[in-house]
Amino acid sequence: MTDATPRPRRSVLYMPGANERALEKAQTIPADALILDLEDAVAPDAKPEARARVCAAATSGAYGSREIAIRANGIGTAWHGDDLRAIAAAGPAAVVIPKIDSAADVHLIEKALEAGGAPDHTMIWAMLETPIAMLSAFEIAASSERLAVLVMGTNDLAKELQAAHVPGRQPLLAGLGQCLLAARAAGKVILDGVYNDIKDDAGFLAECKQGRDLGFDGKTLIHPSQVDPCNQTFAPSEAEVEKASRIIAAFEDAQADGRGVVTVDGRMVENLHVDQARRTLAIAEAINPQPDQ
Protein backbone atom coordinates (compact mmCIF):
# COMPACT_ATOMS: atom_id res chain seq x y z
CA MET A 1 0.00 0.00 0.00
CA THR A 2 3.05 2.26 -0.21
CA ASP A 3 2.30 5.64 -1.80
CA ALA A 4 4.59 4.99 -4.78
CA THR A 5 2.95 7.35 -7.23
CA PRO A 6 5.35 10.26 -7.76
CA ARG A 7 3.58 13.56 -7.31
CA PRO A 8 4.68 17.05 -6.35
CA ARG A 9 4.12 18.15 -2.78
CA ARG A 10 6.01 21.43 -2.94
CA SER A 11 3.27 23.50 -1.33
CA VAL A 12 0.83 22.01 1.19
CA LEU A 13 -1.63 24.61 2.45
CA TYR A 14 -3.65 24.34 5.68
CA MET A 15 -7.25 25.48 5.23
CA PRO A 16 -9.60 26.02 8.21
CA GLY A 17 -12.37 23.45 8.15
CA ALA A 18 -14.87 25.75 9.84
CA ASN A 19 -14.58 28.42 7.14
CA GLU A 20 -16.79 27.53 4.18
CA ARG A 21 -15.60 30.55 2.22
CA ALA A 22 -11.96 29.54 2.66
CA LEU A 23 -12.71 26.02 1.46
CA GLU A 24 -14.32 27.47 -1.66
CA LYS A 25 -11.38 29.80 -2.27
CA ALA A 26 -8.98 26.85 -2.01
CA GLN A 27 -10.44 25.51 -5.25
CA THR A 28 -8.47 28.19 -7.13
CA ILE A 29 -5.23 28.27 -5.11
CA PRO A 30 -2.34 26.61 -6.99
CA ALA A 31 -1.09 24.56 -4.03
CA ASP A 32 -0.02 21.01 -4.78
CA ALA A 33 -1.96 19.77 -1.77
CA LEU A 34 -4.46 21.05 0.78
CA ILE A 35 -4.87 20.03 4.40
CA LEU A 36 -8.47 20.69 5.43
CA ASP A 37 -8.04 21.27 9.13
CA LEU A 38 -10.27 20.03 11.95
CA GLU A 39 -7.72 20.61 14.71
CA ASP A 40 -6.11 23.95 15.58
CA ALA A 41 -8.16 26.03 13.13
CA VAL A 42 -11.55 24.95 14.54
CA ALA A 43 -13.10 25.95 17.87
CA PRO A 44 -14.42 23.07 20.02
CA ASP A 45 -18.11 23.90 19.53
CA ALA A 46 -17.64 24.16 15.74
CA LYS A 47 -15.90 20.81 15.26
CA PRO A 48 -18.93 18.61 14.39
CA GLU A 49 -20.15 21.03 11.73
CA ALA A 50 -16.62 21.49 10.38
CA ARG A 51 -16.17 17.72 10.18
CA ALA A 52 -19.22 17.33 7.97
CA ARG A 53 -18.22 20.29 5.81
CA VAL A 54 -14.65 19.09 5.31
CA CYS A 55 -15.63 15.53 4.45
CA ALA A 56 -18.15 16.80 1.92
CA ALA A 57 -15.51 19.08 0.41
CA ALA A 58 -13.00 16.22 0.17
CA THR A 59 -15.43 14.12 -1.86
CA SER A 60 -16.77 16.97 -4.01
CA GLY A 61 -14.25 16.72 -6.84
CA ALA A 62 -14.03 20.52 -6.79
CA TYR A 63 -10.29 20.71 -6.17
CA GLY A 64 -9.06 19.29 -9.46
CA SER A 65 -5.64 17.65 -9.31
CA ARG A 66 -4.84 18.99 -5.83
CA GLU A 67 -4.14 16.29 -3.26
CA ILE A 68 -6.69 16.56 -0.45
CA ALA A 69 -5.83 15.57 3.10
CA ILE A 70 -7.88 16.09 6.26
CA ARG A 71 -6.23 16.83 9.60
CA ALA A 72 -8.04 15.07 12.41
CA ASN A 73 -7.93 15.98 16.06
CA GLY A 74 -5.23 14.10 17.94
CA ILE A 75 -5.29 10.76 19.70
CA GLY A 76 -6.95 11.07 23.09
CA THR A 77 -9.08 14.10 22.27
CA ALA A 78 -12.86 14.04 22.49
CA TRP A 79 -13.24 14.40 18.71
CA HIS A 80 -10.62 11.93 17.49
CA GLY A 81 -12.81 8.84 17.10
CA ASP A 82 -15.62 10.66 15.29
CA ASP A 83 -13.08 12.37 13.05
CA LEU A 84 -11.49 9.09 11.96
CA ARG A 85 -14.82 7.40 11.31
CA ALA A 86 -15.98 10.30 9.13
CA ILE A 87 -12.65 10.60 7.32
CA ALA A 88 -12.52 6.85 6.66
CA ALA A 89 -15.98 7.03 5.11
CA ALA A 90 -15.06 10.07 3.00
CA GLY A 91 -11.86 8.48 1.70
CA PRO A 92 -9.63 11.52 0.99
CA ALA A 93 -6.07 11.12 -0.25
CA ALA A 94 -4.78 11.23 3.32
CA VAL A 95 -5.54 11.74 6.97
CA VAL A 96 -3.12 13.97 8.87
CA ILE A 97 -2.65 13.05 12.53
CA PRO A 98 -1.03 15.52 14.95
CA LYS A 99 1.50 14.57 17.62
CA ILE A 100 2.42 11.07 16.50
CA ASP A 101 5.03 9.88 19.01
CA SER A 102 5.46 6.17 18.26
CA ALA A 103 4.82 3.30 15.89
CA ALA A 104 2.00 2.26 18.23
CA ASP A 105 0.25 5.55 17.49
CA VAL A 106 0.45 4.84 13.76
CA HIS A 107 -0.93 1.34 14.26
CA LEU A 108 -3.92 2.77 16.16
CA ILE A 109 -4.69 5.08 13.25
CA GLU A 110 -4.25 2.29 10.73
CA LYS A 111 -6.66 0.01 12.60
CA ALA A 112 -9.23 2.80 12.94
CA LEU A 113 -9.12 3.54 9.22
CA GLU A 114 -9.51 -0.13 8.36
CA ALA A 115 -12.40 -0.50 10.81
CA GLY A 116 -14.07 2.52 9.22
CA GLY A 117 -13.76 1.08 5.72
CA ALA A 118 -11.22 3.61 4.44
CA PRO A 119 -10.13 2.91 0.86
CA ASP A 120 -6.57 1.77 0.24
CA HIS A 121 -5.67 5.14 -1.28
CA THR A 122 -6.30 6.99 2.00
CA MET A 123 -2.79 7.31 3.38
CA ILE A 124 -1.53 8.42 6.80
CA TRP A 125 0.48 11.62 7.17
CA ALA A 126 2.13 11.66 10.59
CA MET A 127 2.94 14.97 12.26
CA LEU A 128 6.18 14.90 14.27
CA GLU A 129 6.04 17.69 16.85
CA THR A 130 7.68 16.55 20.10
CA PRO A 131 11.11 15.55 21.38
CA ILE A 132 10.03 11.91 21.70
CA ALA A 133 8.87 11.96 18.09
CA MET A 134 12.31 13.21 17.00
CA LEU A 135 13.95 10.34 18.88
CA SER A 136 11.44 7.82 17.48
CA ALA A 137 11.38 9.19 13.93
CA PHE A 138 12.63 6.07 12.12
CA GLU A 139 10.39 3.77 14.16
CA ILE A 140 7.45 5.94 13.13
CA ALA A 141 8.48 6.28 9.49
CA ALA A 142 8.96 2.53 9.04
CA SER A 143 5.86 1.49 11.00
CA SER A 144 3.35 1.07 8.18
CA GLU A 145 3.06 0.95 4.41
CA ARG A 146 -0.02 3.11 4.82
CA LEU A 147 2.13 5.89 6.26
CA ALA A 148 3.25 7.97 3.29
CA VAL A 149 4.34 11.37 4.60
CA LEU A 150 6.04 12.85 7.65
CA VAL A 151 4.97 16.41 8.46
CA MET A 152 7.12 18.57 10.70
CA GLY A 153 5.21 20.43 13.41
CA THR A 154 7.87 23.05 14.04
CA ASN A 155 5.76 25.40 16.18
CA ASP A 156 4.95 22.71 18.71
CA LEU A 157 8.49 21.38 18.58
CA ALA A 158 9.90 24.83 19.41
CA LYS A 159 7.44 25.09 22.30
CA GLU A 160 8.40 21.66 23.65
CA LEU A 161 12.11 22.47 23.37
CA GLN A 162 11.58 25.90 24.97
CA ALA A 163 13.45 27.17 21.93
CA ALA A 164 13.39 30.58 20.29
CA HIS A 165 12.02 31.23 16.81
CA VAL A 166 15.14 32.60 15.14
CA PRO A 167 16.28 33.00 11.52
CA GLY A 168 18.06 29.87 10.40
CA ARG A 169 16.18 27.71 12.96
CA GLN A 170 19.37 26.61 14.71
CA PRO A 171 17.49 25.25 17.78
CA LEU A 172 15.40 22.95 15.54
CA LEU A 173 18.04 21.66 13.14
CA ALA A 174 18.94 18.56 15.15
CA GLY A 175 15.31 17.42 15.16
CA LEU A 176 14.74 18.33 11.52
CA GLY A 177 17.85 16.40 10.53
CA GLN A 178 16.79 13.36 12.56
CA CYS A 179 13.43 13.26 10.81
CA LEU A 180 14.96 13.76 7.37
CA LEU A 181 17.27 10.80 7.98
CA ALA A 182 14.28 8.71 9.06
CA ALA A 183 12.20 9.67 6.05
CA ARG A 184 14.93 8.85 3.57
CA ALA A 185 15.84 5.58 5.31
CA ALA A 186 12.18 4.49 5.21
CA GLY A 187 11.44 5.85 1.73
CA LYS A 188 8.85 8.39 2.83
CA VAL A 189 8.02 11.93 1.77
CA ILE A 190 8.80 14.63 4.34
CA LEU A 191 7.35 18.15 4.55
CA ASP A 192 8.88 21.11 6.35
CA GLY A 193 6.92 23.05 8.97
CA VAL A 194 5.09 26.36 8.62
CA TYR A 195 6.47 29.90 8.63
CA ASN A 196 4.42 32.11 10.93
CA ASP A 197 5.00 35.67 9.69
CA ILE A 198 2.95 36.00 6.51
CA LYS A 199 4.23 39.55 5.92
CA ASP A 200 7.92 38.60 6.05
CA ASP A 201 8.45 37.64 2.41
CA ALA A 202 12.25 37.59 2.65
CA GLY A 203 12.27 35.45 5.78
CA PHE A 204 9.78 33.02 4.29
CA LEU A 205 11.77 32.65 1.08
CA ALA A 206 14.97 32.07 3.04
CA GLU A 207 13.30 29.31 5.05
CA CYS A 208 11.93 27.71 1.86
CA LYS A 209 15.43 27.64 0.42
CA GLN A 210 16.83 26.22 3.64
CA GLY A 211 14.20 23.46 3.63
CA ARG A 212 14.90 22.62 0.00
CA ASP A 213 18.67 22.53 0.61
CA LEU A 214 18.22 20.31 3.68
CA GLY A 215 16.28 17.84 1.54
CA PHE A 216 12.60 18.39 2.32
CA ASP A 217 10.13 17.52 -0.46
CA GLY A 218 8.01 20.60 0.22
CA LYS A 219 6.64 22.86 2.93
CA THR A 220 3.41 23.26 4.84
CA LEU A 221 1.88 26.73 4.57
CA ILE A 222 -0.61 28.88 6.45
CA HIS A 223 -1.53 31.53 3.86
CA PRO A 224 -2.26 31.52 0.10
CA SER A 225 0.36 34.24 -0.47
CA GLN A 226 3.04 31.68 0.43
CA VAL A 227 2.09 29.21 -2.30
CA ASP A 228 3.74 30.71 -5.40
CA PRO A 229 7.19 31.37 -3.89
CA CYS A 230 7.13 27.94 -2.28
CA ASN A 231 6.23 26.25 -5.57
CA GLN A 232 9.03 28.06 -7.34
CA THR A 233 11.62 27.26 -4.68
CA PHE A 234 10.88 23.54 -4.49
CA ALA A 235 10.69 23.07 -8.27
CA PRO A 236 13.80 22.34 -10.35
CA SER A 237 14.91 25.45 -12.26
CA GLU A 238 15.20 25.47 -16.05
CA ALA A 239 18.98 25.40 -15.66
CA GLU A 240 18.79 22.37 -13.36
CA VAL A 241 16.52 20.52 -15.79
CA GLU A 242 18.78 21.35 -18.72
CA LYS A 243 21.88 20.15 -16.86
CA ALA A 244 20.14 16.98 -15.74
CA SER A 245 19.31 16.19 -19.35
CA ARG A 246 22.93 16.74 -20.38
CA ILE A 247 24.23 14.51 -17.59
CA ILE A 248 21.97 11.66 -18.61
CA ALA A 249 22.77 12.06 -22.31
CA ALA A 250 26.54 12.19 -21.67
CA PHE A 251 26.43 9.12 -19.45
CA GLU A 252 24.37 7.12 -21.95
CA ASP A 253 26.68 8.12 -24.80
CA ALA A 254 29.70 7.02 -22.78
CA GLN A 255 28.11 3.67 -22.00
CA ALA A 256 27.32 3.12 -25.68
CA ASP A 257 30.95 3.91 -26.60
CA GLY A 258 32.38 1.72 -23.86
CA ARG A 259 33.91 4.66 -22.02
CA GLY A 260 34.16 4.44 -18.24
CA VAL A 261 34.80 8.10 -17.48
CA VAL A 262 32.30 10.90 -18.16
CA THR A 263 32.61 14.61 -17.44
CA VAL A 264 29.98 17.34 -17.70
CA ASP A 265 30.99 20.97 -17.25
CA GLY A 266 34.40 19.76 -16.13
CA ARG A 267 33.03 17.55 -13.34
CA MET A 268 33.14 13.78 -13.10
CA VAL A 269 29.78 12.06 -13.56
CA GLU A 270 29.04 8.79 -11.75
CA ASN A 271 25.96 6.63 -11.35
CA LEU A 272 24.80 8.60 -8.31
CA HIS A 273 24.83 11.83 -10.33
CA VAL A 274 22.77 10.15 -13.05
CA ASP A 275 20.26 8.96 -10.44
CA GLN A 276 19.98 12.51 -9.11
CA ALA A 277 19.55 13.85 -12.64
CA ARG A 278 16.76 11.37 -13.37
CA ARG A 279 15.03 12.37 -10.14
CA THR A 280 15.25 16.04 -11.17
CA LEU A 281 13.60 15.27 -14.50
CA ALA A 282 10.93 13.12 -12.81
CA ILE A 283 10.05 15.97 -10.45
CA ALA A 284 9.90 18.44 -13.33
CA GLU A 285 7.65 16.08 -15.29
CA ALA A 286 5.36 15.56 -12.30
CA ILE A 287 5.00 19.32 -11.89
CA ASN A 288 4.42 20.02 -15.59
CA PRO A 289 3.37 16.76 -17.26
CA GLN A 290 3.85 16.76 -21.00
CA PRO A 291 0.90 15.64 -23.14
CA ASP A 292 1.28 12.31 -24.87
CA GLN A 293 2.61 12.68 -28.37
State the pLDDT at residue 4: 46
* CA angle at 20 for the pair 122 and 96, rounded to the nearest 5°: 25
What CATH fold (topology level) applies to the domain 11-234? TIM Barrel (3.20.20)
pLDDT at 293 exceeding the cut of 70: no
pLDDT of residue 160: 97
For position 174, what pLDDT does the model report?
97
Residue 129 scores a pLDDT above 90: yes
Is pLDDT of 3 > 50?
no
User: What is the distance between the alpha carbons of residues 290 and 271, in angstroms, rounded to a whole number?
Assistant: 26
Q: What average pLDDT score do residues 215-220 get?
A: 97
Give the pLDDT mean for 84-90.
Answer: 98
| Digit-coded pLDDT (tens) for 262-292 | 888 888 888 889 988 998 898 888 888 776 6
- Inform me whether the pLDDT recorded for 10 exceeds 50: yes
The span from the CA of 212 to the CA of 234, in Å, is 6
**CA proximity to 233, closest of 219, 247, 221:** 219
Q: Which residue intervals of the chain bear CATH 3.20.20.60?
A: 11-234
**Residue 157 to residue 99: CA distance in whole angstroms:** 10
Averaged pLDDT, 101-122? 98
| Nearest C-alpha neighbor of 97 from the set 83, 114, 85 | 83
Helix H or strand E encompassing 191: strand 189-192
pTM score over 0.85:
yes
Q: Of 18, 12, 81, whose CA–CA distance to 53 is shortest? A: 18
